[in-house]
Structure 1
Amino acid sequence: MPDKILITGGSGLVGTRLSEMLIDQGYEVAHLSRKADKFSKYKTFKWDIEKQYIDDNAIKYADYVIHLAGAGVAEEKWSDERKREIYNSRIDSTNLLHHCLAHTNHHVKGFISTSAIGIYGNSGDQLMSEESTYANDFLAEVSKAWEAAAWKMRELDMRTVILRLGIVLSDKGGALPQIAKPVKMMAGAALGSGKQFMSWIHIDDACRLYIKAIEDTQFKGVYNAVAPHPVTNKEFTIELAETMNKPLMLPNVPAFAINLMMGEMSEVVLGGQRVSASKVMRTGFTFEYTYLEEALSSFYAKEVD
C-alpha cells in the first residue's frame, strides 16, 4: 500500500507542484482545504481554522502530514490586519493540527512543517546556519512562533521536520515572475544597494526535499531549504537578464522608492539572508539545480530571441 500524504496549503505554489511530484512517485495525496472542492484532482478534506475544525477523517487518512498553509507574505501591503492574518494563519493552523493529532486515533508517522529563512532577519553577508541567532523583526517573530507550534508535535512521539524555505523559484508564481516582469520589459534593475543576499531554491528541489523528509527517517529537526550558492540581488538580476537575453539599462531602484511603494513589507526585498545548505547536503540530498544559472534556464531559456 502506498503511503498517504495529507497536505495543508495544497493549492499554493509549492503544494501544487509537490502534489504532482508525490503522485508521480506513487504516493496517494489528499488536501486539507477551507472548501471541499468536488472538482479537485485530489481527495479533499475540509477544515476551518477560525472555528478550530478539522474533518476527523483527514487525520485518520494520513500516514504523513505536510504543513504548507499560510497567508502569502508578499501578496499585499502589511496593514496591521494583514500582519495578524500572516501570523495567525500559520500558528493557529499548526495548533489546530496538534490538537487533532493529540485527540484522534491515527497512524501518522511524521509531520513535516514549513518555516522561512526570514527567521535570520537581515543578516548581511554573514553565512547563517540552522544554529545561528534569530532576528526580532516581524517575519522572524512569525517564523519563531510557527516553529514553536510545530515542535509541539514531538510531544506526540512524532518525527518532526521543519524546512526553512528560501526564495522558491518558479515561473508559476512567487517572487520570480515579479522580478522577471521588468527585465522582460527591458527595465530590470537591482533593488536598493543590490548587495543583499538572496538564498533561493528551485521549486522542484524544494519539493524533492519534502519528499526526502518523508522517506528518510534520519530527517529530524530543522533544515535550511536553500540551494548551495546564494547570490546578491545584483548578481541575481544580471543572471536573469542574461538568461532572458535582455539588456539591463537602469541604475538600482533606490531603497526609499521601494519603501514608499511597499511600506514595512520592503524588508522582504531590501533585507537579505546568506544561508547555508550544508546540513541538508550532509543527509546525502543532492540538488538538481545547484547554481542560479541552471535554475533560471529551466524556466526562461526557451524565451531567448
Structure 2
Amino acid sequence: MKEVVLITGANGLIAKELAKKISNEYDVRFLTRKKRQANEYEWDLRKGTIDEAAFENVSHIIHLAGANISEKRWTAERKKELISSRVDSATLLRNTLRKREIKLKSFISASGINFYGTNTTEKIYSENDPPGHDFLSEVVVLWECAADHFKEQNLAERVVKIRTAVVLSEKEGALKKMLPPIQYGIGSALGTGNQYMAWIHIEDICSIYDFALKNHALHGAYNAVSPQHATNADLTKKIAEVLHKPLFMPNVPTFVLKMLFGELANAILEGSRASSQKIQNTGFQFRFPDLKNALSDLLKIQ
C-alpha cells in the first residue's frame, strides 16, 4: 500500500503542483475549507473543526496552509490572520493526532526565507543565523515553533522546515504579477531595485518537498532558494530580456509603494540573500539554478 501524505493549503500553487509530482508514489489527501473531490477533507480553523477521516493511516503531513503575505495591506486584523492561519492550523493538526494517538513519520512544514529579517545587506544568511526583528520574522518564528512542537510532543519522528523564497511560476505569484507591465513595455524595478529577491523555480520547490519526504535523514530548517542570487532590478531585466521587451521606464518610487501597500511595502522594498548550501549538501540538485534558464522554461521561450 502507498503511504498516505496529507497536505494542507490545498488551493495553493505549491500544493497543487506537488500533488501532481508525488501522486504516483503516495496516496495524497488534502485538507481544505470546502470539499470538491474524493481525496479532500474539510477543516475550519475558526470553528476548530476537522474531518478526522483524513488521518486514517496517515504517515506524513505537509503543512502548506497560510494566508498570502502580500495579498492585502497589513491591518491589525490581517496580521492576526497571517499568524493564525499558520500557527492555529498546526495546533489543530497536533490536537487531532494526539486524540487519535497517531505518530507521523514526518511533519514537513512550509516556512519563509523572511526568517532572517526584511532588510537589504551584503550578508548571505545560512540556517545557523538567528531570526530578524520585524513582523515577517515574527510570523516565521512562530510558524516554525508550531512545527517543532510535533517532534517535541512525540507526534512525529522528524520535522523539516522549508524556508521558501519567492516561488517563480507563470500560473500565479510574483512572476505573474510582474509580467503584464513588462509585456506592455512599461515594466520597471521597484524602489532602488537593489533589494535582493530570493527566488526558486516552482519545479525545484516541489522537488525539495519530494526529496524531504523520501530522505529520512533530513530534519530541521533548510533554505529553499536558488543558488544564483538576484536583485529586484536583475529579475525585472531578465524577464524583459527573455520576453524580448524594452525596459526604459524609471523605477517605481518608494513613496508610491508605501502609499499603496503601507507596512507591506517594506517586504517589497527590502531583501537579503540566503544560502542553499545546506540542502545541496544533502544531495539535492537544483534543476533551475540559473535565473534566465528558469524564466525561459516558465515562459516557454527558447
**Distance in 1 between the 2:298 and 2:54 partners?**
35
Q: Which amino acid aligns with 1:74?
A: S
* 1:35-184 paired onto structure 2 within 5 Å: 35-37=34-36, 40=37, 43-106=39-102, 108-121=104-117, 122-155=119-152, 156=154, 157-184=156-183
SS of match in other structure, 1:279? helix
- 1:298 maps onto 2:279 in alignment: no
Distance 2:169 2:44 in 1: 29
Match of 2:247 in 1: 248
* Equivalent position of 1:11 in the other structure: 11
Cα distance in structure 1, aligned partners of 2:58 and 2:243: 42
- Identity level (%): 40
Q: Per-residue deviation at 1:103?
A: 2.1
> 1:183–1:189: 8 Å Cα contact kept in structure 2?
yes
Q: How far did residue 35 of structure 1 move?
A: 1.6
SS of alignment partner, residue 56 of structure 2: helix
Q: CA deviation at 1:61?
A: 3.5
Contact 2:103 2:157 in 1 (8 A): no
SS of 1:196's equivalent in the other structure is: coil
Q: Does 1:283 align with 2:282?
A: yes
User: Are 1:20 and 2:17 an aligned pair?
Assistant: no
Secondary structure of 2:171's counterpart equals: coil
Question: Runs of 4 or more off by more than 6 Å in structure 1?
Answer: none
User: Structure 1: any 5+ residue segments left out of the alignment?
Assistant: none
Equivalents in 2 of 1:267, 1:102: separation in Å?
39
Q: Aligned-pair distance for 1:133?
A: 2.4
Q: Which amino acid aligns with 1:228?
A: P
| Residue 226 of structure 1: how far off its partner (Å) | 0.7
Q: What CA distance in whole angstroms lies between the structure 2 residues aligned with 1:6 and 1:263?
A: 36
What amino acid does structure 2 have at the position aligned with 1:127? I
TM-score by length of 1: 0.95
- The amino acid that maps onto 2:99 is H
What is residue 208 of structure 2 aligned with on the other side? 209
- Please report how far the alpha carbon of residue 206 of structure 1 lies from its aligned counterpart in structure 2 after TM superposition: 0.3
Instruction: Report the more deviating stretch, 103-112 or 198-207.
Output: 103-112
Q: CA deviation at 1:123?
A: 4.3
Displacement of 1:90 after TM fit?
Answer: 0.6
Task: Give yes or no for contact 1:7–1:68 (8 Å, CA) kept in 2.
Answer: yes
- Which amino acid in the other structure matches residue 105 of structure 2? K
Residue number in structure 2 paired with 1:32:
31
Question: Displacement, 1:3?
Answer: 1.5
Report the count of equivalent residues: 299
Shift of 1:60: 2.3
Shift of 1:32: 0.6
CA–CA separation in structure 1 for the residues paired with 2:165 and 2:72: 19
C-alpha distance in 1 between matches for 2:101 and 2:149: 18
Separation in 1, partners of 2:57, 2:13: 24
RMSD: 1.3
Cα pair 1:6 1:64 within 8 Å, conserved = yes
**Structure 2, unaligned runs of 5 or more:** none
**1:63 match: secondary structure:** strand
**Structure 2 length as normaliser, TM-score?**
0.96
Q: Are 2:197 and 2:232, in contact at CA under 8 Å, matched by a contact in 1?
A: yes
Q: Tell me the distance in 1 between the aligned counterparts of 2:26 and 2:168.
A: 24
Contact 1:60/1:104 (<8 A) preserved: no
Instruction: Tell me the secondary structure at the aligned position of residue 173 of structure 1.
Output: coil
The DSSP-based 3-state class of the residue aligned with 2:19 is helix
